[in-house]
Amino acid sequence: MARPRTVFRCAECGTTVPKWAGRCPGCEEWNTLIEEFDVAPSATTAVLGPRDEPTPISEVDVAEWQARPTRIDELDRVLGGGLVPGSVTLIGGEPGIGKSTLLLQAMAAIATEGVTVLYISAEESKQQVRLRAERLGTLQPTLWLASETSLPHILDHIDRIGPTVVIVDSIQSVHHPDISSAPGSVAQVRDCAARLVATAKSRDLAIVLVGHVTKEGGLAGPRVLEHVVDTVLAFEGDRHHALRLLRAAKHRFGATDQLGLFEMTGDGLVGVPDPSRLFLADRRRGVSGSVVVPTMEGHRPLLVELQALVTRSSLASPRRSSQGVDNGRLSLLLAVLAERAGFSFAERDVYALAVGGVKVAEPAADLGLTMALASALAGQPLPADLVVCGEVGLGGELRQVAHCERRLAEAARLGFTRALVPRLSPEPPEGITAIRVGSLTEAVSAIGITVPSSRG
Ligand code: TYD
Ligand code: MG
Ligand 1 atom, smallest distance to 104 CA: 2
Say how far apart CA 233 and CA 323 lie, in whole Å: 23
CB contact set of 29 (below 8 Å; sequence gap of 6+): 10, 12, 13, 23
Expressed in angstroms and rounded, the spacing between residue 81 Cα and the centre of ligand 1 is: 25
The atom number, within ligand 1, closest to the CA of 135 reads 22
| Identity of the amino acid at 440 | L
Atom 17 in ligand 1: which residue has the minimum CA distance? 268
Q: Whose CA is nearest to atom 22 of ligand 1?
A: 268
Rounding to the nearest 10 degrees, give the CA dihedral for residues 184, 188, 192, 193: 70
Nearest CA to 120 out of 67, 72, 171 is that of 171
Within 10 angstroms of residue 88's Cβ, the number of other Cβ atoms is 29
DSSP per position, 194-212: HHHHHHHHHHT-EEEEEEE
User: For a pocket test of ligand 1, which of 90, 94, 101 has the largest count of ligand atoms closer than 8 A to its C-beta?
Assistant: 101
Q: Give the mutation target among 104, 264, 265, 269 for probing the ligand 1 site: most ligand atoms within 8 A of CB.
A: 264
Residue 421 dihedral angles phi and psi, to the nearest 5°: -135, 160
DSSP SS3 for 4: coil
Q: How many CB atoms lie within 10 A of CB 335?
A: 12
Quote the pTM value: 0.77
Q: How far is the CA of 218 from the centre of ligand 1 (A)?
A: 21
Spacing, Cα 176 to ligand 2 middle (Å): 21
- Looking only at the bridges linking them, the beta strands covering 5-10 and 33-38 are antiparallel
Say if residues 92 and 213 touch (Cβ distance below 8 Å): yes
Half-sphere exposure of 390 (CA within 13 A, CB side): 29
What's the Cα-to-Cα distance from 321 to each of 51, 101, 325, 362, 376, rounded to whole Å? 57, 33, 9, 18, 14
Mean pLDDT, consecutive 10-residue stretches, the chain (456 aa), reads 68 81 85 70 52 84 80 92 93 91 95 94 95 91 95 96 95 90 83 93 94 69 77 85 86 82 91 83 88 88 94 94 95 97 95 88 95 96 95 96 93 94 94 96 95 65
What local confidence, expressed as pLDDT, does residue 144 receive? 96
| Alpha carbon of 170 to ligand 2 centroid (Å) | 7
Distances from the Cα of 70 to the Cα of 76, 113, 115, 313, 434, angstroms: 6, 10, 11, 52, 42
pLDDT, residue 218, reads: 62
Task: Report yes or no: 372 and 289 within 8 Å, Cβ to Cβ.
Answer: yes
Task: Say how far apart CA 407 and CA 294 lie, in whole Å.
Answer: 5
Q: For ligand 1, atom 8, name the residue with the nearest CA.
A: 96
CA dist 443 and 177 (Å) reads: 65
Amino acid at 278: L
Measured from CB, residues less than 6 Å from any atom of ligand 1 are 93, 95-101, 132, 135-136, 264, 266-268
Distance 14 CA to ligand 2 centre (A): 25
Ligand 1: nearest atom to the Cα of 101? 2
Q: Whose CA is nearest to atom 12 of ligand 1?
A: 98
Closest ligand by atom to 269 CA: 1
252 C-beta neighbours (distance < 10 Å), count: 12
Ligand 1 atom with minimal separation from the 267 CA: 22
Q: 100 alpha carbon to ligand 1 midpoint, in Å?
A: 7
Cα separation, 125 vs 102, in Å, equals: 17
Dist CA 333 CA 393 (whole Å) = 9
Closest CA to ligand 1's atom 14: 96
- Nearest ligand, CA 133: 1
The span from the CA of 66 to the CA of 82, in Å, is 9
Cα 447 to Cα 438: distance, rounded to the nearest angstrom: 13
SS3 305: strand
